[in-house]
A = this chain, B = another copy of it.
Amino acid sequence: MAASVTVENLNPKVLKCEYAVRGEIVIHAQLLQQQLQTQPGSLPFDEILYCNIGNPQSLGQKPVTFFREVLALCDHPCLLDKEETKSLFRSSPNYFNVPLKHENLCISDGSSLCSADAISRAKQILASIPGRATGAYSHSQGIKGLRDAIAAGITSRDGFPANADDIFLTDGASPGVHMMMQLLIRNEKDGILCPIPQYPLYSASITLHGGALVPYYLNESTGWGLEISDLKKQLEDAQSKGIDVRALVVINPGNPTGQVLAEANQYDIVKFCKNEGLVLLADEVYQENIYVDNKKFNSFKKIVRSMGLGEDDLPLVSFQSVSKGYHGECGKRGGYMEITGFSAPVREQIYKIASVNLCSNVTGQILASLVMNPPKAGDESYASYKAEKDGILESLARRAKALEDAFNNLEGFTCNKTEGAMYLFPQIHLPQKAIEAAKAAKKAPDAFYALRLLESTGIVVVPGSGFGQVPGTWHIRCTILPQEDKIPAVITRFKAFHEAFMAEYRD
């Protein structure tokens, strides 16, 4: 009987797991979207605006041309074989009116399919794959030549050497996180220190692997500062309960909180991990997304090496993804983890887990190598590449500022600056009457607010309760990703909703 499988007899870890970024609010939004299609005009808005997830291209951001040229050539390498004799055109729209020069692959009117550097990069990548076989399983850590390229990119970023053998290419950053949790968590007495608020991949993964999430609180009043004193306190508290704390997760730039760690703070975090024997799991997927002049991204690898610490001193994992940055190639599912400071036998176990899934997707692998080695000054694509990149990042900075200002102008909202990443995480001081209405509706107050926002405006945000927050405070996470020309309308809709909400529930 099909009734043999019921919710009651499923793995309780699965039942317990939560992932709010695609949770109840989003499922409701998808239903409303269907309603808009089948019954246009039946809702007080014309479209659903997904501000729940860092998914830039879903909101109209265009892919970076150079990256896509290389991918198309690698997908269908036959294109390259005709270089000498045939001609092609560069069809990418020249978004920024940068003069393009094309020496190769032009048809009679002089327009070209691909830049010369895209062609040479594709050739270089294909040459590094035995038999140019982009359709073959690769080494379980990823294609060696691509890992070499990524290691070179890390070396150039940090000024300290990186090694291809330390790179594990993954389908986005998430599988790497799961792999490390799987490796470290033996049972419910193994704990992982995680920031609160946190990106719920961490809580979900820890729950699925049956471990304990040991929370440390980012200080909202100091711009989501990470305080070593709180780390210590939470560690000791967990240890006193018999928890064996194995690792510390740091998300820098922060998700959902948008702060960028100061260098001195990073030194202290490294010392803390070293002293306490913790693995440092550094989520650095937003390393390109920094919007303020007074902060810059430092990888933990660079910090660790700057302190003179080497392989024997600290187990460190850095996660990177092609989904974020200025490129936002979420659908390609590329990423990597760089692991250092683990013994050979432990690394063998990591390799074994990676090998069970054979390899990550090769398109994502290629893209990860491109993201870590974009065109350089002198390359034919450089001007257009730089214009695309700068255009996106500058626009994101303006959008972040506009939304931050708008939130801070709403009654009961306080919103820290988005220094980096893709999100605002404002606190909403909800009136008691709204909190009671939420209780009556059996919702968390911020979920109640987010649902009402969705139903009134079509704007999808994630309630703070999905990320964790200081008990009794309420937040929402809202991406900065709607296209810039839509931001004023988003603000107007949001403001009108909020004023009506407050008029209804003001104490």
Binding site for B on A (CB under 8 A): 1-7, 9-15, 17-19, 21-23, 30, 53, 55-60, 63, 65, 68-69, 71-73, 75-76, 78-79, 81-82, 86-89, 91-93, 107-108, 111, 113, 130-131, 133-140, 171-172, 174-175, 178, 182-186, 201, 204-205, 208-209, 246, 274, 277-279, 311-315, 323, 327-333, 341-343, 345-346, 349, 352-353, 355-364
Contacts and interface: CB of A to CB of B under 8 A. Distances in A.
A246 to B, nearest CB: 8
A355 B317 CA distance: 24
Contacts of A12: 186
A144 to B, nearest CB: 10
A184 B8 CA distance: 11
A342 B5 contact: yes
A14 B349 contact: yes
B58 A137 contact: yes
Contact of A363 (B4, B172, B352, B363): B363
Q: Which of A78, A130, A279 has the most CB of B within 10 A?
A: A78
Contact of A358 (B22, B57, B205, B278): B22
A201 to B, nearest CB: 7
Contacts of A58: 130-131, 133, 136-137
Which of A2, A79, A362 has the largest number of chain B CB atoms within 10 A?
A: A2
Contacts of A76: 68-69, 71-72, 91-92
B183 A358 contact: no
Contacts of A87: 107
B360 A333 contact: yes
Contacts of A332: 134-135, 361-363
Nearest to A138: B331
Given A2-B315, A58-B136, A331-B362, 17 more contacts: A2-B311, A3-B343, A4-B278, A4-B279, A10-B349, A11-B183, A18-B352, A57-B134, A57-B135, A58-B133, A72-B72, A72-B79, A76-B91, A82-B89, A136-B330, A137-B331, A330-B358
B342 A2 contact: yes
Contacts of A9: 186
A91 B78 contact: yes
Copies, count: 2
B86 A107 contact: yes
A92 B86 CA distance: 13
13 contacts: A2-B314, A10-B184, A57-B131, A57-B134, A63-B135, A72-B73, A86-B89, A86-B107, A86-B111, A134-B331, A137-B323, A171-B360, A208-B356
B78 A75 contact: no
B184 A356 contact: no
Given A2-B341, A313-B2, A361 B358 contact: no
A174 B72 CA distance: 26
Contacts of A78: 65, 68, 91-93
A201 B7 contact: no
Nearest to A88: B88
A278 to B, nearest CB: 7
- Tell which of A135, A183, A330, A345 has the most Cβ of chain B within 10 Å: A135
A312 B346 contact: no
A248 to B, nearest CB: 12
A315 B349 CA distance: 34
Nearest to A76: B72
A205 to B, nearest CB: 7
A315 B5 contact: yes
A186 B7 CA distance: 12
A11 B182 contact: yes
Contacts of A22: 140, 355, 358
A443 B361 CA distance: 34
A205 B356 CA distance: 8
B86 A4 contact: no
A30 to B, nearest CB: 8
